[in-house]
Amino acid sequence: MTTPLTLGFSPCPNDTFMFYPLVHGLVDTGGLSYRERLEDVETLNQLALGSELDVSKVSYHALGHIRDDYALLRSGSALGRGCGPLLVSAAEVNPTDLAGKTIAVPGRFTTALLLLRLFDPSLHNFIEMPFHEVMEAVLSGNADAGLIIHESRFTYQGYGLHKLLDLGEWWENETGLPIPLGGIVARRSLGKETVSAVERALGRGVEYARSHPDEAARYICEHAQEMSAEVCAAHINLYVNDFSADLGDEGVQAIRCLMERAEQAGIVPRSEAPLFF
């Protein structure tokens, strides 16, 4: 019996939907087993930065800092169009007028913050907090604006907040490419054979989840207790797509473009390590 690999992913519906078949043994795992750890995406970023997980979901921003130790897998990504982070506020203002203002962000190594810094390098007054606290920080006046991700994209209008900027839309207009938000990485020290086995098993899991969409409903709801079924379904439909099954050439191009821009801006260190194993 092999030692289980530590597997980190978030309790967000798109992750629990995709990983359900893998952690519950519904697909061929190639003889590997997993010990799951569900954490907020920024917590996962920090754990990967400390090399504490064998396999993990991470923000693509964080990937820029861990490429020497972790290889990207071709399955399991959150990458697409019309799904980018939103900048919101309690009043309608021009995002170019936010210089010097406080902006609540969902973590230092989130792709959301990377995109915002690429959009306007002059912005710097960020307050880091868990993603589900960002809207409240804006509503309470503790932040002038907030950077929202995940299900907040579907609920912010109900709180009376105004969209100032869609960073996914900005990225798509700038590059013509889909926006890479988060991906799955595996520790290079596991060796090529194990990493390849993980990648194949994850690919099978994503395909199984997409062809059996109702099987994981209870598991998803257990980890998304404050989310309505409608928001949960919308979340999965938006963030789980063909890129989740396989990045393909366009997905890889989008990731390379993001890494290059982040390197040029001095936000992530340059690396000679290949993106994949």
- Output the 3-class SS for the chain: CCCCEEEEECCCHHHHHHHHHHHCCCCCCCCCCEEEEECCHHHHHHHHHCCCCCEEEEEHHHHHHHCCCEEECCCCCEEECCCCCEEEECCCCCHHHCCCCCEEECCCCCHHHHHHHHHCCCCCCEEECCHHHHHHHHHCCCCCEEEECCCHHHHHHHHCCEEEEEHHHHHHHHHCCCEEEEEEEEEHHHCHHHHHHHHHHHHHHHHHHHHCCCCCHHHHHHHCCCCCHHHHHHHHHHHCCHHHHCCHHHHHHHHHHHHHHHHHCCCCCCCCCCCCC
Question: Is there a single domain that holds both residue 169 and residue 93?
Answer: yes
Question: Is there a single domain that holds both residue 90 and residue 170?
Answer: yes
What CATH code is carried by the domain that includes residue 225? 3.40.190.10
Question: Is there a single domain that holds both residue 216 and residue 234?
Answer: yes
Question: Is there a single domain that holds both residue 72 and residue 91?
Answer: no
What is the pLDDT, as a whole number, of residue 1? 53
Question: Do the annotations mark residue 57 as ligand-binding?
Answer: yes
Question: Is there a single domain that holds both residue 151 and residue 216?
Answer: no
Percent of the chain with pLDDT over 90: 86
In a domain, 272, yes or no: no
Domains: count for the chain: 2
Tell me the per-residue pLDDT of 201-227, one tens digit each, with 9 for 90 and over.
Answer: 999 999 999 999 999 888 988 888 667
Mean pLDDT value across residues 134-146: 97
Does residue 232 surpass a pLDDT of 90? no
What is the pLDDT, as a whole number, of residue 235? 87
Question: Is there a single domain that holds both residue 39 and residue 56?
Answer: yes
Question: Is there a single domain that holds both residue 185 and residue 169?
Answer: no
What is the pLDDT, as a whole number, of residue 57? 98
In a domain, 113, yes or no: yes
The chain-wide mean pLDDT, for the chain, equals 94
Tell me the per-residue pLDDT of 88-126, one tens digit each, with 9 for 90 and over.
Answer: 999 999 998 898 999 999 999 999 999 999 999 999 999
Question: Do the annotations mark residue 33 as ligand-binding?
Answer: no
Q: In the listed set 141, 175, 209, which residue is the last one of a domain according to the structure?
A: 175
What is the pLDDT, as a whole number, of residue 48? 98
Question: Is there a single domain that holds both residue 75 and residue 105?
Answer: no
In a domain, 274, yes or no: no
In a domain, 58, yes or no: yes
In a domain, 273, yes or no: no
Question: Do the annotations mark residue 111 as ligand-binding?
Answer: yes
Question: Is there a single domain that holds both residue 50 and residue 117?
Answer: no
Catalytic residues: 150
In a domain, 19, yes or no: yes
Question: Is there a single domain that holds both residue 150 and residue 202?
Answer: no
Q: In the listed set 155, 175, 195, which residue is the last one of a domain according to the structure?
A: 175
In a domain, 270, yes or no: no
Question: Is there a single domain that holds both residue 74 and residue 143?
Answer: no
Q: In the listed set 175, 203, 229, which residue is the last one of a domain according to the structure?
A: 175
Residue 127, domain extent? 86-175
Question: Is there a single domain that holds both residue 239 and residue 197?
Answer: yes
Mean pLDDT value across residues 188-194: 97
